[in-house]
Amino acid sequence: MRDLIKIAWRNLWRNRRRTFITAASIFFAIFFAVCMRSYQIGTYNHMIKQGIEAYTGYVQIQNADYFDDPCIDNAFEPTPALMKKILSDPNVKVAVPRIESFALASTGNLSKGVVITGISTEKERMMSNPEQKLVRYRMTEEVINSLKKVLQPADMEKVRQNSNASFTSASDLKVELGLTDAATAHVLKVAKINSRYLTETDDGVLLSDRLSKYLKAGVGDSIILMGQGYQGVSAADVFPVRGIVRLPAPDLDNKVVFMTIGKASAFLSLSGQITSIAINLNETDGMKETQAALNEKIHDGSLSVKNWEELNPTMKQQIEGDNKSGQVFVAILYLIIFFGIFGTVQMMISERIREFGVMVAIGMKRGKLAIVVTLEMLFLGFIGTASGMVASVPFIMYGYYYPLKITGSMAQMYIDMGFDPVMPMAWFESYFFLQAVVVFVMVLAASYLPVRSILKINVIKAIHGN
């Protein structure tokens, strides 16, 4: 067997051009398949992280009737015993209590339906972490007008392109505007707003960014909230705005009002009850197993455990639909590459038919000759597969740390669906090695007919090149 391996390896380099062409076709198949699949899976993970991990949670515990009738009357009490059972599960990373209800927010002549979210300000840092998303700088019309006197026309054009934009940090503003340090210093000075996070006893609220723009309410202003509390009690009050929060999902950014869980409980007359416990997991692949385990631990007919797929079926359908279309595209790519590899192999066999005939004529067994050709294809497959995987590594790492930003109409489509217009690449997971396995199997499949023809070779015709 060692001699056959040696012969196969030497045969590869007798015709270097043919070897490089065949290996290159496998290389590009691996490279494009891995990179495209990485973009797909990375985008799905980003969607889930934005809409699920950063707000809803992978699992939620609710009143058994809340899913079908999400009203404030279907609240429950988060007893210490219940929280202890939840946190005892090894896959539970964090569990945070929340109150969610609907109300009408009003400022002057403007009003809009909003989602009131009562949070434990300390625990929420481990979940959605609104403090990290506080808007620190805003490019309002007043800010732009005040900058006309100090900035050059070229710098002013960049500022106008970001009219009404919000930034959570000075570094984000600097990168987005692309101004000189001196010009950036002027912008930071006049665009700064004094957003601050809520304390546990705070009576103020945080407004999501787009909502605050719609209501024209900034830090220091007040908004009126009117709604219905527990068991039909009227709920109405005036709340000072402590800060503006820029949520990554535009759909949420249009309607969320954060307040402390104590203030929300008092406003809605809940007397310490909550509407849900949002849970993030250590291992997301075990979501359904954790859901079943929590159901068993709680063992309470008045409560139910729901996963994000049940809570947000629209997102699940979007991801599944896009995933299927991506798989079809990859399958078409594989089909094209397969016939490319198959054609190259057939060409290689046709060029060497006289060589094979001579080798069989001088005593080489057909079976051993077929093994040699198969080994040649395995070597070619390994060279092309390994080089394709190695070449894709820097692209995946760059796309993971520096996601591709989408612009134009495609960006608007992403925003309309409720996601940031970016396409990050997924880190190295099972998909990375699966593409290599698929292409390697294709190489073996492409070798079948050539090997079969070698086993049935007619020595006389082969020697005459027929």
Residue 191: pLDDT over 70: yes
Q: Which of 362, 381, 16, 378 is nearest to 370 (CA)?
A: 378
Residue 237: pLDDT over 90: yes
Instruction: Tell me the pTM.
Output: 0.71
Residue 184: pLDDT over 80: yes
Least confident of 153-167, 234-248, 412-426: 412-426
Reported as a pLDDT band with limits 50, 70 and 90, residue 360 is confident
What are the pLDDT digits (tens) for 288-345? 999 999 988 887 778 999 998 888 887 778 777 777 777 787 788 778 778 877 877 7
Q: Which of 408, 398, 419, 389 is nearest to 322 (CA)?
A: 419
Please name every residue paired with 61 in a beta bridge, in sequence order, or none if there are none: 277, 305
Q: Which of 106, 374, 102 is nearest to 215 (CA)?
A: 106
State the alpha helices, DSSP H only, in 192-303. Answer: 209-215, 250-253, 261-267, 287-298
Per-residue pLDDT, averaged over 408-415, amounts to 64
pLDDT score at 408: 64
Q: Which of 118, 43, 375 is nearest to 268 (CA)?
A: 118
DSSP class of residue 131 equals: G
pLDDT score at 318: 74
Helix pair 366-401, 16-48: axis angle to 10 deg: 40
Per-residue pLDDT, averaged over 186-200, amounts to 89
Residue 258: other Cβ atoms inside 10 A? 25
The answer to whether 393 and 3 are in contact (CB under 8 A) is no
pLDDT score at 35: 85
Q: Which of 328, 277, 267, 271 is nearest to 124 (CA)?
A: 277
What are the pLDDT digits (tens) for 251-285? 788 899 999 999 999 999 998 899 999 999 988 88
Q: Which of 242, 237, 274, 234 is nearest to 258 (CA)?
A: 242
Residue 417: pLDDT over 60: no
Residue 54: pLDDT over 60: yes
Distance CA 47, CA 100 (A): 22
pLDDT score at 262: 93
Q: Which of 346, 347, 348, 373 is nearest to 360 (CA)?
A: 373
Per-residue pLDDT, averaged over 206-213, amounts to 94
pLDDT score at 175: 78
Distance CA 420, CA 406 (A): 9
Reported as a pLDDT band with limits 50, 70 and 90, residue 465 is low
Least confident of 141-145, 171-175, 370-374, 418-422: 418-422
pLDDT score at 415: 60
Reported as a pLDDT band with limits 50, 70 and 90, residue 136 is very high
Distance CA 68, CA 51 (A): 21
Reported as a pLDDT band with limits 50, 70 and 90, residue 32 is confident
201 vs 412, which has greater pLDDT? 201
- Cα 294-296-297 angle, rounded to 5 deg: 65
What totals of helices (H) and strands (E) does the chain contain, helices first? Answer: 19, 13
Least confident of 102-111, 138-147, 346-355: 346-355
pLDDT score at 268: 94
Distance CA 128, CA 51 (A): 10
* Two structure tokens written together for 462: 């082969």
pLDDT score at 414: 65
390 vs 455, which has greater pLDDT? 390
Q: Which of 2, 24, 4, 31 is nearest to 383 (CA)?
A: 24
Average pLDDT score, the chain: 84
pLDDT score at 198: 93
Percent of the chain with pLDDT over 70: 96
Q: Is 380 left (phi over 0), alpha (psi -120 to 50) or beta?
A: alpha
